[in-house]
Amino acid sequence: MEFIRTLFSISRAQKRIVSVIIDIAFIIIAFFGAIAAVLENVAVLFETQYWLFMLIVCPISIYVFARQGLYRAVLRHIELQALTAVAVGVLVSTLTVVVTAYISEVSLPSSVPIIYAAFAFIFVGGSRTLVRTVFSDEIKRDGEYVIIYGAGVSGRQLVTALSQSSEYRAMAFVDDDPTLHGTVIKGVNVHSPSIIRELVERYRVNKILLAMPGVSHYRRKQILLSLEPLAKQILTIPAMCDLVSGEKVYSDIKQIEIEDLLGRNAVTPRESLMAANIKGKNVMVTGAGGSIGSELCRQILNYNPKRLVLYELSEYGLYSIETELRTHADFLGIEVEILPMQGCVQKENRVLAVMESFKVQTVYHTAAYKHVPLVEQNVVEGVRNNIFGTFYSARAAIAAKVETFVLISTDKAVRPTNVMGATKRMAELTLQALSKGSHSTRFCMVRFGNVLGSSGSVVPLFRKQIANGGPVTVTHPEITRFFMTIPEAAQLVIQAGAMGQGGDVFVLDMGTPLKIVDLAYKMIHLSGLKVMDDKNPDGDIAVQFSGLRPGEKLFEELLIGENVSGTAHERIMTAHEVMLPWEVLEPILDDLELACYNFDHQTVRNILLKAPTGFNPSDGICDLMWIARMKDKETSSKVVDLASRIA
């Protein structure tokens, strides 16, 4: 084996010279071996005529092998197709033997060419297969033992890919198809999933590779749930679309994505709805650098807008999304004017100037503060950005004669227990009131729950905590949340916006809510680790409950009442909820603006409580500045009281 490793370490040119020399030796051995076998006499080895014979046969044979690309193939990666090149070369070499013997009138038994062909094919082709097998076996001995779930085309491709590296060694297939059980594919036995635990223990496997990129999300979820109790790390190959596009290959093994646990099949977007407000139009996205905003930009770019205006306060966020979109536009081969505009939605004159300058026709308003605890601690800025940022942007859209204005809302706007939810409900009420005015702008709102992978999502937090050895922190054992992938949410937002008539509140079908603690357990198990608790004190990762944060609810809702109707899209519903006429809402906004200007947190809270938002706070005022002022007042009061007593 050391000799083979040394041989593989020399340069490519040197390897080719060695291969040619060895093949010449094989041709000579095959020829004289064939004659000796027929004549049963080794004396032929000393006959000059046969050696002169080889001076013609060898160069022609090597030339044909070279033309067939045999010396360009890498031995350790050589495929069975290379044997075809060997067969063609041997056939030409055999014909050369026959023709040369005929022309030179050398006496050659008729069976010699046949035996020569067999020997030459075995020596030249067999040697290469042998080297490939020996090298592959050496690699396999170094690899980590794994089980592959799925013995279909993807599983077979994965075994082939793994055989070329020393990272993993496939010990067994498991597959749902009973007709494959007991068979051997690529040298690997296929078993029923029912004995996977036995296989894991037999081979001491710590990783299971899921090779089913084309399976439905529902079936994938079922498989993952069946594998979860094993507490082994589950890895998967890329999705079928990535494999087909060439962006990924079978060896690109990655961790299981949490969306696989949702068991939710994404609905193919309707092209007419996706393109209605985008194709050939000037589109603007506020908060373009955020999680939802950036995904909206990616989706919008696919439908060839005339202009795409990126409005973002964060310099880094704006730079990142602009760079990505320009690269993506070049990849798609489309010409779209991408305009990075830095600005704050609270500055109405800036928003208006941007809309008018670029003749914006469609606005997707995602700019908002969405992190519940941070808004609780920064109430005034939350109100200014979420309510007045939306109000000013909407008023600018009316002035700039924007055709469609879509607000991205949240499930936390329904019977809110926190300031963030109350501000988003006020933003909805503001757009509903403005939609009844005499103007051409069409307003609508799209309300949905958590998106996987967004800023502040529990998923990246859990993954980081697991990587650091725990503990994984969950606020409450009963807390549940709705989840949706960012791409699906963005597509549904665009489609809902195309269906709006004015003042509509659209609600996305989020599926079944998940318990956050169950999500934590699944992520731990699918990472190949065990939960540490009273029943299993020797586990790997502990789950700790930190308590509900200020303003946090146990359960989120998507509807205020039961008055909801379906739409032309199966995942989009319309909610029919309380609206305020502008003449009633305007004085509320005026009072709220004055309270924010004076940093009067108590008045801000009172206004939100009196407005028809359903605001029912679960905590007192948590604003950090308000708390500091209250402490100062309390200290001053104590000093005054002490001074009066002394006097």
- Taking the C-alpha atoms of residue 579 and residue 241, their distance in angstroms, rounded to an integer, is 44
- Taking the C-alpha atoms of residue 218 and residue 432, their distance in angstroms, rounded to an integer, is 38
- Taking the C-alpha atoms of residue 290 and residue 408, their distance in angstroms, rounded to an integer, is 12
Q: How far is CA 168 from CA 164, 187, 488, 609, in A?
A: 10, 15, 34, 60
Q: Using an 8 Å Cβ cutoff, are 342 and 309 in contact?
A: no
Out of 232, 281, 370, 412, which one is annotated catalytic? 412
Would you mind telling me the total number of residues written for the chain in this entry?
Answer: 647
Quickly count: other Cβ atoms within 10 Å of residue 618's Cβ: 14
Give 291-332 as a DSSP string.
HHHHHHHHHHHTT--SEEEEEES-HHHHHHHHHHHHHHHHHH
The CA-based dihedral angle spanning residues 315, 321, 326, 329, taken in that order and rounded to the nearest 10 degrees: -160
Q: Using an 8 Å Cβ cutoff, are 292 and 451 in contact?
A: yes
The candidate with the shortest Cα–Cα distance to 420, out of 600, 623, 580, is: 623
- Taking the C-alpha atoms of residue 615 and residue 259, their distance in angstroms, rounded to an integer, is 32
Please report, in angstroms and rounded to a whole number, the separation of the first and last CA atoms in the chain.
99
Active site residue 412: yes
- What one-letter code names the amino acid at 562? E
- Taking the C-alpha atoms of residue 553 and residue 548, their distance in angstroms, rounded to an integer, is 8
Peptide bond preceding 213 in cis form (omega within 30 of 0): no
The candidate with the shortest Cα–Cα distance to 148, out of 165, 171, 178, 166, is: 171
Residue positions annotated with a catalytic role: 412
